[in-house]
Structure 1
Amino acid sequence: MELVDVILWNLWNNRNGAIFDRPYKDPLSLVFLSIAFLDQFHEANSKDKFNTPTSLQSRLSIGHWIRPNAGFVKANFDGAVFMDDKSSGVGVIIRDDKGSFIADLSKKILGILEPNVVESYAAKHAIQLLHDLSFNKIVLERDSQKSSKC
C-alpha cells in the first residue's frame, strides 16, 4: 500500500510541476523513482543494516510482467483505501499475449472499505470488463493475496 501512496504523490507532484513550468516526467519513470525512494527509505530505517531483505524493486518484480499464453488476455487488478479522502478505489488493466494495452478501468468507491473487500470489488470489475469486451480466454492476476482468502 505504501508504494501506491508514493506513486500517487509523485504523479500529483509531477502534474503540479507541469502546471508551474517544471519539466514533465514520464509516468513509468515516476514508478521507478517511487520504488527507488521506498527501497532507500526501508534500507535507511532498517534495524539490521546487514540483513536487510532484498530490494523492494526485486520483491515487487516491477517490469517483469508475465505474458499470458497465446490467444489469452490478462487482466491485472488492484484495490486501494484512501483514508484521507474517506474513499476506496479499484483499477484494472487488460493486455494481450504480446503485452499490448487493450483496456483499463478505474473507479472511486465512496467510503472506506476493508482492503480484502476492495480487492474483491476490483476482481468483480475486472471480470465484468472482460465479459463486456467478450473475452473468454482470460488470466486474472491481483496484487494482493488477501482476496483469495475471502
Structure 2
Amino acid sequence: MQDPNTLCRRAVEYLEEYRDSQRHLRADGVGRSVGDVWKPPPNSIFKLNFDATVFVEAKRTRFGAIIRNDKGAVMAAMSTGGPPMSSSEEAELLAGRKAVEFATDVGFSELVIEGDNRNVMKALSSSLDDRSLLGNVVDDVRHLVYGMHWINFSCIRRGGNRVAHALVQHARNISEDVFWLEDSPPPALNALYQDSLLL
C-alpha cells in the first residue's frame, strides 16, 4: 500500500504528462484550414467518405470508402478495384456509386456522403437531369439513395478525406476486394489516428 498523497501526486504528474504529449501530437493539425479536417456527422447519422485513384502505369483504378459514426468510430470500410479508366472524375463518380452501394448493402440509411471532387459532388447533389456521358452513373447513385431515410452530399478537401485515400492506396496492391465491419482497417490506422486528434 502506498500513501494516498503519493498516489495523488503521481496521478497529477501522469495527467500533466498526458496533456503535454497531446499538445505535441496536435502540432500536425496546425495550419490546416477547416475544409481540410474530417468532421463527425450529426448524432445518429453516419458519414460515408469515398475516394478513387487511377493508377495509369498499372492500368487499374482503385476505390476506398469508410463509414463512421458521430464519435468517429468505424462502422464499415472497403478497399476495392474498379475497371480501367482514363479520367479521375469518372473514377471518382464510380467510386461514389460503389461506396453508396456498399453502404446500402450493409444497412445504412441515414448518411452524409462526402467526397473530394467538387464536380462529382455537385452532380450527385443536383436534382437536375445529368445529360453528360456519365449521367447514367449519376442516375444509379440517385436510385440507390432514393430509399434512404436521410441523405446529404458534401464536398471536402483531400486533407479531410485522408482515411478514404489511405484505403485507395491499400487497394493498389490487392487482387481481391477487402471489407471491414465494425473494425478499424489496418491500412488506415494512421489516418484514423490523425483525424481523432482533431475531433
Q: Which residue of 1 aligns with 2:194?
A: none
CA offset at residue 61 of structure 1?
Answer: 5.4
Q: Which residue of 2 aligns with 1:39?
A: none
For structure 1, which runs of at least 5 residues remain unmatched after alignment?
1-31, 33-54
Distance 2:34 2:57 in 1: 26
- What value does the CA root-mean-square deviation take over the aligned residues? 2.5
The structure whose Rg is larger is 2
Q: 1:118 aligns with which of 91, 101, 115?
A: 91
Instruction: Give the TM-score normalised by structure 2.
Output: 0.43
Q: Which residue of 2 aligns with 1:58?
A: 32
Q: Which residue of 2 aligns with 1:137?
A: 110
Q: Which residue of 2 aligns with 1:87?
A: 60
Q: Is the partner of 2:68 in helix, strand or coil?
A: strand
Instruction: Give the TM-score normalised by structure 1.
Output: 0.56
Note the 1:1-150 alignment, pairs <5 A: 58=32, 62=36, 64-150=37-123
Q: Which residue of 2 aligns with 1:17?
A: none
| Sequence identity percentage | 28
CA contact (8 A) 1:81 1:89 kept: yes
Distance 2:56 2:33 in 1: 26
Larger relative contact order (Cα-Cα within 8 Å, sequence gap ≥ 6)? 2
* Runs of 4+ in structure 1 over 4 Å off: 59-62
Distance 2:104 2:94 in 1: 15
CA offset at residue 146 of structure 1?
Answer: 2.7
Which amino acid is 1:68 matched to? P
